[in-house]
Amino acid sequence: REKRLTLPPSEITLL
């Protein structure tokens, strides 16, 4: 069974 151990990476936004 797969378990997520870390939060997902974020997208990057250019401002």
Partner 1 sequence: PGLLEPTSTLVRVPKSASTLGIAIEGGANTRQPLPRIVTIQRGGSAHNCGQLKVGQIILEVNGVSLRGREHRDAARLIAEAFKSKERDYVDFLVTDFN
Contacts with partner 1 by CB under 8 A lie at 6-15
Query: Between the CA atoms of 9, 11, 12 and 15, what dihedral angle is there, to the nearest 10 degrees?
Result: -140
Tell me whether residue 2 or residue 13 sits nearer to partner 1 (CB atom): 13
Q: Closest distance between partner 1 and the C-beta of residue 1, in Å?
A: 22
Q: Which residues of 2-15 are buried (b: 16+ CB within 10 A; e: fewer)?
A: eeeeeeeeeeeeee
Q: Closest distance between partner 1 and the C-beta of residue 2, in Å?
A: 18
Q: Closest distance between partner 1 and the C-beta of residue 6, in Å?
A: 6
